[in-house]
A and B are shown apart, each in its own frame.
Chain A
Amino acid sequence: MIDFARVQKELQECGKDVEGSGIRVAPKSDATLARLVGTIPGPIGTPYEGGVFQIDITLPDGYPFEPPKMQFSTKVWHPNISSQSGAICLDILKDQWSPALTLKTALLSVQALLSAPEPDDPQDAVVAKQYLKDYQTFISTARYWTETFAKTSSRGIEEKVQKLVEMGFPEAQARTTLESVGGDENLALEKLCSG
């Protein structure tokens, strides 16, 4: 019941502006459009700057009349994102969702959330407490997590291969594709997805 025609159009629309926004959306596999991977660059001037964050997207049957389910697969230190599961606390992904929003606008909102945390309505109580009580430590922890988990160059090739295998690509193909794009996970993913 998912409106795949609309999802297709959304992907095309989003693809046109990757340069401008840095936001990408791609299917996890060729099999279905119901499971996607979104990528957002960490906003400049935040401890997330320089990082590239991946978000697992699952479309419910009622999409776009029901909100997409989004979850960080890249570990991130943020009051409104679970440091354990990557669950995101964002109103537009819940009751404030509108069918007029798109995956791209939703990802833009997630990106905006990285710039402007709302510690009073936390998803991760530990992070929120640190944010309010010891802001400096929060900043350095968030930056450390960005360095460790969200920077392509910092991740070992094996880990990236493993990740692509988990997404459903054959290991050998994942490895050669990764090598061909110089280890850039996102480029490799795009290449793998486009066939």
Chain B
Amino acid sequence: MEDYVSVDSDDDYDYLYYDDGTEDGGDSDRLEFAETKADADSQSVNVKVITRESLLAAQREDLRKVMDVLSLKEHHARSLLIHYRWDVNQLLSGLVEKGKDKLYAEVGVTILEHRDLVSSNFSSSKAKKSTVLCEICFEKVPTNVATTMDCGHVFCNTCWTKHFIVKIKGGQSRRIRCMAHKCNSICDEEKIRMLVSTRDPILAEKFDRFLLESYIEDNKKVKWCPSTPHCGNALRIDDCNLCEVECACGLKFCFKCSSEAHSPCSCQMWELWSQKCRDESETVNWITVNTKPCPKCLKPVEKNGGCNHVHCICGQHFCWHCGRPDKFHGGYHSCGRYTEDEQKTRNAKRDLQRYMHYYDRYKAHKHSSELESKLQKTMKKKMSELEAREITSKDYSWATEGLNRLFRSRQILSYSYPFAYYMFGDIFGSEMTKQEKVIKQHLFEDQQQQLEAHVERLSSFLEAPFNEYPDNEVITLRMEIINFSTVVDKLCRKLYECIENDLLGCLTRTSQSIAPYMSNGMDKASEVTDCKGL
């Protein structure tokens, strides 16, 4: 009887593994872990990006650890790791706790202690017993077309193959059990691969991919990047309960809920908000935020920069948020505040208005940050013009850092509106007394408005055509930008602290939390794109 286990290597599935070099584990540059740590912040975590190419290497690293410590075959190590969601340490402590035999039985790992003996017994009895009755198809088949699994159960190859195909198609590649009733043993993946590939090579490839992807899908510490179209990356983070990360492809996302980065809005609030936006956009057609009528001449005015104060061709300045004529360009204003009088309208209308109030501001800041990203280009131009001049300082980090501060704080402002919508709305607001709610809402809005005003100022400074300024004015502007950047940073941190401790912390029925404030932006899972090289 030819047991497939004795067939040690077959070209059909060698493609799965790296060439010779990697097998001995010495080829470390194959491990494409681009490892970076966010600089200043103490909160920063270790983020690695796993590309499709390095997925196998990352998985092999964990497999090898378990195979070495327990001297197991790869498919046994894999079964154990899948059982423990790819947490090697938990697996090892589970082993100490339960003991080898109990754990192996639980997971379905069957070890043949004396494989040589068994197979030699088989070959000696081969002459006597050349057929075997397959208990699945009830056919007598020659032993050379039957396969024995680790558990000792033998069935014909046709039946095994059909069984594997049903399981793989049913999405159960990670745990294909033996066909015998009540046999918990996991089938040898090499035998599965071998049998399936002769019948359906494409499915055999899929099987390999499923096994590979289990490393990500069953792994607590690893998440696919949610980009569409998918960039092919997954990120691995050690020790993160709630944080936001940036993939090598540039997408920033929440590691907890896999949606776009949404702090200082909590995951639950963000989910509610996204759902609401989808629902509302179907029924109400007011999401045209690209133009607004001028309060003086009523012509539609398009927003042409990140600043929320717009200029109509008639000469009128007005606030993009509220449409109020406002002649102090960049001045402090409080239109992001929601006044109680607006609440006096009837319920349905009130709810819609309330939503629109928050939605408008949420969208306006989003829109601003999109427009401001164009600033990057003009900024580069302005700086190169300055560089051509004879000026004392050639350091323009104040401009690029100011710009980055602006981008980050715009995002924060934007997401602070859905947060406020839910925090002080019916769902979560009911967890506070009315008086408590009023006090907290004021506390929050004061901080939000203060931040908003400073962000608008920062935006206007950065929009200034300073490349045309005389040297002394450039120096003054530089000071303003540095000062405002510092203040905006502090205000953002304060806002996060206020939300986490004073607001979400007081909710009693639900437990909400936000990712910690990252002064220097999110942890990136690749080489940091150098802002100085803009």
Residues of A within 8 A of B (CB): 3, 5-6, 9, 62, 64-66, 92, 98-101, 105
**What would be 21 A-B contacts, judged by CB atoms less than 8 Å apart?**
A5-B137, A6-B136, A6-B137, A62-B162, A62-B166, A64-B136, A65-B159, A65-B162, A65-B163, A65-B166, A92-B181, A98-B182, A98-B183, A99-B136, A99-B159, A99-B163, A99-B179, A100-B135, A100-B136, A100-B181, A101-B181
User: Does B15 touch A at the CB level, under 8 Å?
Assistant: no
- The proximity string for B residues 140-171 relative to A, scoring 1 for CB distances below 8 Å and 0 otherwise, is 00000000000000000001001101100000
Give A105 to B136 CA distance when docked, in angstroms.
13
Does A6 contact B138, Cβ atoms closer than 8 Å? yes
4 closest A-B pairs by beta carbon, nearest first, are A98-B181, A65-B166, A99-B179, A62-B166
When C-beta atoms are compared, the residue in chain A nearest to B181 turns out to be: A98
CB contact under 8 A between A3 and B180, given known A65-B163, A99-B163: no
When C-beta atoms are compared, the residue in chain A nearest to B159 turns out to be: A99
Interface centre among B135, B136, B180 (most CB of A within 10 A): B136
B165 contact set on A, CB distance < 8 A: 65
**Additional pairs, 10, CB under 8 Å, beyond known A98-B183, A105-B181:** A3-B162, A5-B137, A62-B162, A62-B166, A65-B162, A65-B165, A99-B136, A100-B135, A100-B136, A100-B180
CB contact under 8 A between A98 and B179, given known A62-B166, A65-B166, A66-B166: yes
B162 contact set on A, CB distance < 8 A: 3, 62, 65
A6 contact set on B, CB distance < 8 A: 136-138
B316 CB to nearest chain A CB (Å): 68
A100 contact set on B, CB distance < 8 A: 135-136, 179-181
Give A99 to B166 CA distance when docked, in angstroms.
11
B458 CB to nearest chain A CB (Å): 59
A3 contact set on B, CB distance < 8 A: 137, 162
Give A62 to B165 CA distance when docked, in angstroms.
10
Give A105 to B162 CA distance when docked, in angstroms.
21
Give A118 to B165 CA distance when docked, in angstroms.
33
B135 contact set on A, CB distance < 8 A: 100
A65 contact set on B, CB distance < 8 A: 159, 162-163, 165-166
B174 CB to nearest chain A CB (Å): 14
Give A134 to B163 CA distance when docked, in angstroms.
44
- Chain B, interface size category, equals 10 to 19
When C-beta atoms are compared, the residue in chain A nearest to B136 turns out to be: A99
A105 contact set on B, CB distance < 8 A: 181
B183 contact set on A, CB distance < 8 A: 98
Give A66 to B180 CA distance when docked, in angstroms.
13
Give A3 to B161 CA distance when docked, in angstroms.
14
Give A36 to B166 CA distance when docked, in angstroms.
22
B311 CB to nearest chain A CB (Å): 67
B199 CB to nearest chain A CB (Å): 13
B267 CB to nearest chain A CB (Å): 32
When C-beta atoms are compared, the residue in chain B nearest to A10 turns out to be: B138
When C-beta atoms are compared, the residue in chain A nearest to B169 turns out to be: A62
Give A131 to B179 CA distance when docked, in angstroms.
35
Give A101 to B166 CA distance when docked, in angstroms.
16
When C-beta atoms are compared, the residue in chain A nearest to B161 turns out to be: A65
A119 CB to nearest chain B CB (Å): 23
Give A41 to B289 CA distance when docked, in angstroms.
72
- The proximity string for B residues 164-197 relative to A, scoring 1 for CB distances below 8 Å and 0 otherwise, is 0110000000000001111100000000000000
Give A99 to B137 CA distance when docked, in angstroms.
9
B138 contact set on A, CB distance < 8 A: 6, 9
Give A98 to B137 CA distance when docked, in angstroms.
13
A68 CB to nearest chain B CB (Å): 14
When C-beta atoms are compared, the residue in chain A nearest to B166 turns out to be: A65
Give A105 to B137 CA distance when docked, in angstroms.
15
A66 contact set on B, CB distance < 8 A: 166
A60 CB to nearest chain B CB (Å): 10
When C-beta atoms are compared, the residue in chain A nearest to B163 turns out to be: A65
B132 CB to nearest chain A CB (Å): 14
B137 contact set on A, CB distance < 8 A: 3, 5-6
B163 contact set on A, CB distance < 8 A: 65, 99
Interface centre among A9, A65, A66, A101 (most CB of B within 10 A): A65
Give A159 to B181 CA distance when docked, in angstroms.
39
Give A186 to B166 CA distance when docked, in angstroms.
35
When C-beta atoms are compared, the residue in chain A nearest to B139 turns out to be: A5
A162 CB to nearest chain B CB (Å): 37
When C-beta atoms are compared, the residue in chain A nearest to B164 turns out to be: A65
Give A99 to B165 CA distance when docked, in angstroms.
13
Give A9 to B137 CA distance when docked, in angstroms.
9
B179 contact set on A, CB distance < 8 A: 98-100
A5 contact set on B, CB distance < 8 A: 137
A98 contact set on B, CB distance < 8 A: 179-183
Give A64 to B136 CA distance when docked, in angstroms.
8
Give A65 to B163 CA distance when docked, in angstroms.
5
When C-beta atoms are compared, the residue in chain B nearest to A3 turns out to be: B137
B176 CB to nearest chain A CB (Å): 11
Give A98 to B182 CA distance when docked, in angstroms.
8
Give A5 to B159 CA distance when docked, in angstroms.
13
B68 CB to nearest chain A CB (Å): 33
Give A99 to B162 CA distance when docked, in angstroms.
10
Give A9 to B183 CA distance when docked, in angstroms.
24
- The proximity string for B residues 361-377 relative to A, scoring 1 for CB distances below 8 Å and 0 otherwise, is 00000000000000000
Give A92 to B181 CA distance when docked, in angstroms.
9
B54 CB to nearest chain A CB (Å): 34
When C-beta atoms are compared, the residue in chain A nearest to B153 turns out to be: A100
B166 contact set on A, CB distance < 8 A: 62, 65-66
Give A101 to B163 CA distance when docked, in angstroms.
13
Give A3 to B138 CA distance when docked, in angstroms.
11
Give A100 to B135 CA distance when docked, in angstroms.
6
B286 CB to nearest chain A CB (Å): 47
Give A6 to B137 CA distance when docked, in angstroms.
6
Give A26 to B138 CA distance when docked, in angstroms.
19
When C-beta atoms are compared, the residue in chain A nearest to B135 turns out to be: A100
Give A6 to B156 CA distance when docked, in angstroms.
14
Give A99 to B138 CA distance when docked, in angstroms.
11
A64 contact set on B, CB distance < 8 A: 136
Give A5 to B165 CA distance when docked, in angstroms.
19
Give A3 to B166 CA distance when docked, in angstroms.
13
A166 CB to nearest chain B CB (Å): 32
